[in-house]
Amino acid sequence: MRLLIVEDDRLLGEALRTGLSQAGFQAEWVQDGEQAWAALRNEPFAAAVLDLGLPRLGGLELLRRLRGDGSPLPVLVLTARDTARDTVTGLDAGADDYMTKPFDFGELAARLRALIRRAAGNAAPLLTHGTLTLDPASRAVTFGGNSVELSQREFTLLHELLLNAGKAMTRTQLESSLYAWGEEVESNALEVHIHHLRRKLAPDLIRTLRGVGYMIPK
């Protein structure tokens, strides 16, 4: 799951990127509102963690711009401002959830998982498909009642495909959920991960859509 962190405080930005990466997110970090706007317009993200006090373009202005543009992106506002008025303003501007600094990383990660899940139209925390289950919180996968060991990237890929079951996922969408900015992507890496998933799970679970990408049918 690819996340955008928008935070101008360097220490906190680094801590968020590290903490959320350890929680299994592909976390990218920008330090002002204009950079965030450019990133969100150009690339797919599953959610954003947004500070309100930002240089160049403030968090509330960014939110209004996103919603004005019709973006359904789940946004969790993270701020030092803890007055009820700021909370109300943030939610009215289009935020989906809200946490006040200092915050607990475990709670932040859980809230983000819930936002992403709901945005994809799933109310239940466990993703299931036949006898396959994936638990985003514990990162556990079982198939036919047996637990399955997956690498971090295999897990992320399966999560992305299950969350979007029934939809064709393009190579670009899948690769951007797997790799960080500036990270080298080997041309056949995606095929290799898909091959491993098919081998560990079922050969016919993931369909290849020629010239498009991959899909897990509903």
CB of 89 to Ca ion, least distance (A): 16
Query: Segment near Ca ion (CB under 5 A), from 4-12, 56-64, 125-133, 197-205?
Result: 4-12
Mark 155-189 as b/e (b = at least 16 C-beta within 10 Å). Answer: bbbbbbbbbbbeeebeeebbbbbbbeeeeeeeeee
Which range touches Ca ion (CB under 5 A), out of 3-11, 86-94, 183-191, 192-200?
A: 3-11
Which helix or strand (DSSP H or E) is residue 97 part of? strand 97-100
Q: Are 178 and 169 in contact (CB under 8 A)?
A: no
Residue 8 lies near Ca ion (rule: CB under 5 A):
yes
Q: Which of residues 116-155 bind Ca ion (CB under 5 A)?
A: none
Binding residues for Ca ion, how many (CB under 5 A)? Answer: 3
Exposed/middle/buried for residue 150 (C-beta within 10 Å: 0-12, 13-18, 19+): buried
Say how many CA atoms lie within 13 Å of 109 toward its Cβ. Answer: 20
- Angle 139-169-138 (CA atoms, 0-180°, nearest 5)? 5
Shortest distance (Å) from residue 27 CB to Ca ion: 17
Contact of 134 with 116, CB cutoff 8 Å: no
- Name the segment binding Ca ion (CB under 5 A); options: 5-13, 140-148, 172-180, 187-195: 5-13
Q: Looking at 14, 44, 53, 92, which residue binds Ca ion (CB under 5 A)? A: 53
Q: Give the shortest CB-54-to-Ca ion separation in angstroms.
A: 6
Furthest-apart CA atoms within the chain: distance in Å: 54
Taking the least distance from each CB to Ca ion, the nearer of 78 and 141 is 78
Span interacting with Ca ion, options 7-15, 57-65, 116-124, 140-148, rule CB under 5 A: 7-15
Task: Please report how close the Cβ of residue 51 comes to Ca ion at its closest, in angstroms.
Answer: 4
Identity of the residue numbered 2: R
Taking the complex as a whole, the smallest distance from the CB of residue 213 to Ca ion amounts, in Å, to 37
Using the minimum distance from each CB to Ca ion, give the nearer residue, 8 or 86.
Answer: 8
Strand, helix or coil for residue 217: coil
Residue with the closest Cβ to Ca ion?
53
Residues 13-52 that bind Ca ion (CB under 5 A): 51
Q: How far apart are CA 34 and CA 101, in angstroms?
A: 23
Question: Least distance in Å: CB of 15 to Ca ion?
Answer: 14
CB 161 within 8 A of CB 202: no
Structure tokens at 80: 């030092």
| Binding-site ranges for Ca ion (CB under 5 A) | 8, 51, 53
